[in-house]
Amino acid sequence: MSVQEATTGFSTTYGYEPAGVWSAPGRANLIGEHTDYNNGYVFPFGIDRRTYVALSPRSDNLIRLSSTISDQVVEFELGKKQPADLDWALYPLGVAWVMRDSANGGFDAYFTSDVPVGAGLSSSAAIECAVATALNDIWEAGKSAQELALIGQRAENDVVGAPTGMMDQTASMLAKKDAAVLLDCQSMETELVPLGLQERGLVVAVMDTRVAHRHSDGGYRSRREACEAGAAAMGVDSLRGLTEEDLPAAQEALDELTFRRCKHVITENRRVLDAVDALKRGDMATLGQLLLQSHASMRDDFEISVVELDTAVELAMEVGAVGARMTGGGFGGAAIAIIDQSKMELLSEHCKAIFAKKGFAEPNVFAVAASDGARRDA
Ligand code: ADP
Ligand code: MG
C-alpha cells in the first residue's frame, strides 16, 4: 500500500520510475527515558507505522526531495551553498551529508509516512533511517545497521541541531517483529527480547495527546545539562557510573534540582533491567508497575511530563491497563499503555470524553504492534 503510494508519488513528482522503495519504522519506547545520552539502558520497539522513501540515484550532483507532508520540492546541489530554510528537508539532507564520503552523485527522493509527526514516536528517526538505508544501497556504502543508526543520529545532532541520543535510530534500524530491543548505550550491545503480548491478548496502546514538542527547545537540552553536571560533580563520566546505592551521596553532593534529575536516570536504568527480567519471566504485572514508576519519576523528578500525558496514564489505568507511562522525550507527545486488546475501544472513548471535558485537544488513540526495522521493500 504505502510502497505503492511512494512509487506513485515519486513518478508523479519526477516523471520517471524510482529505482527502489525503502522504509523504516517509528518507535515506541517501552521503558528507559532520557537514559540513552547518559550511557544507560533503553528498551524500545519498532512500531507498525513506517516512513517509506522511493528513491533514484542521479548522475549529476542535484538532490531533490519531496514529501506528502509538504507541497514544495526541495532542490539542493552538493557542494553549493545551501538554501536558507530547509525545514523538514534537513533530516534527509543531513543523512546524505553525513554519508557524503560514500556519495557518487545526487538523488531524487519522495517520502510518504503514517508515523505521526511530533508525537514522540520518532518520525524523525523513521525518515533518517529510511533514507540512510536507501543511500547505503544505491551508493554501495556497505554500512551495517548499527552504523546507519549512528549516521541518522549524527544527522539529527549535527545538521538538524537536536541533541538526541542514539535510541530512536537504533530501534528503527534493528527492530524485530514481536520483540523489543534492549540497548546498552555504553557498550552499544543490543539484545532482542520477545514481548509475548499477542499470546496474552495484550497490545501496546498509544495515546497521542497531540501536544507538540520540539527537541531543539530548551527543556530537553537543560535536562541533558543537569545530567552532565550531576555526573561531573559525582566524579563519573556519565550517570551510568552510578547506581541507587550512590543516591544518598548524590543527595549530599548535588543541589536539590540536579539531584532529582540524576535520580530519575539512575533509577530508570534499574527499571529497564527489571522490566526485561519481568518480560522474560512473563510477569506482566511487574512490568506494568515498572511502567507506572517510570512515569512517576518523569513527572515528579525529571519533570518532563505535561498534564495531558499524566491524564492519559490515569485514564488507561482506570480502564484496566496493566501499566502506562509517557514515552519519548516529553513535553508533549504520546503515552503508552499495555492493555487487553478488547479494551482498546473503551480506552479510546474514555480518553476522548475526558480530554474533551478538560478542554484538551482530541487525543489520537491507537494500538501498535512491534514490527521489523529498516528494510528495502521494492
Ligand atoms: P518526532 O520524531 O517525535 O516525530 P521530531 O520533531 O523529532 O518529532 O521530528 C519531526 C520532524 O521530522 C518533522 O517536523 C519533519 O521536519 C521531519 N519529518 C518526519 N517525518 C517526515 C516525513 N514523512 N516527511 C518529511 N519530513 C518528516
Ligand atoms: Mg524525533
- pLDDT band per the 50, 70, 90 thresholds, residue 163: confident
Instruction: Tell me, yes or no, if 85 is annotated catalytic.
Output: no
Which pTM value belongs to this model?
A: 0.93
* pLDDT at 214 (0 to 100): 61
From the CA of 26, the nearest ligand is 1
Closest-CA residue, ligand 1 atom 8, reads 118
* pLDDT at 329 (0 to 100): 87
State the average pLDDT over residues 312-339: 96
Closest-CA residue, ligand 1 atom 18, reads 124
Atom of ligand 1 nearest to the CA of 164: 7
Count, residues in the chain: 378
Contact between 355 and 361 under an 8 Å Cβ cutoff? The reply is yes
- pLDDT band per the 50, 70, 90 thresholds, residue 83: low
Distance 156 CA to ligand 2 centre (A): 8
| pLDDT surpassing 90 at residue 256 | yes
Distance 77 CA to ligand 2 centre (A): 26
State the average pLDDT over residues 256-275: 98
List alpha helices for the chain, DSSP H: 2-14, 90-98, 123-138, 145-154, 167-174, 218-233, 247-253, 256-281, 284-300, 307-319, 344-357
* pLDDT at 120 (0 to 100): 81
Q: What is the SS3 assignment for 89-114?
A: HHHHHHHHHHCHHHCCCCEEEEEEEC
Lookup: cell for 83: 538554501
- What is d(CA 143, CA 132) in angstroms, rounded to the nearest whole number? 9
- pLDDT band per the 50, 70, 90 thresholds, residue 81: low
Distance 103 CA to ligand 2 centre (A): 25
pLDDT over 70 percentage in the chain = 97
> What's the pLDDT tens digit per position in 283-305?
999 999 999 999 999 999 999 99
Which residue's C-alpha cell is 518480560?
279
Distance 89 CA to ligand 1 centre (A): 10
Residues with CB under 6 Å of ligand 1 are 51, 67, 69, 88, 91, 111, 113, 117-124, 127, 214-215, 328
State the average pLDDT over residues 241-263: 98
Given 168, 255, 277, 372, the catalytic residue: 168
From the CA of 159, the nearest ligand is 1
- What is d(CA 222, CA 213) in angstroms, rounded to the nearest whole number? 15
* pLDDT at 119 (0 to 100): 82
> What's the pLDDT tens digit per position in 9-63?
999 999 999 999 999 999 999 999 999 999 999 999 999 999 999 999 999 999 9
State the average pLDDT over residues 329-355: 96
* pLDDT at 84 (0 to 100): 65
Kindly give, in sequence order, each residue whose CB lies less than 8 Å from that of residue 85, ignoring residues fewer than 6 positions away: none
The domains of the chain are located at 3-193, 196-368
* pLDDT at 215 (0 to 100): 56
* pLDDT at 71 (0 to 100): 87
Considering only the top CATH level, what class is 3-193? alpha beta
Q: Does domain 196-368 have CATH number 1.20.1050.10?
A: no
From the CA of 160, the nearest ligand is 1
Top pLDDT among 216 and 97 is at 97
With the most atoms of ligand 1 within 8 angstroms of its CB, the residue from 36, 72, 87, 91 to mutate is 91
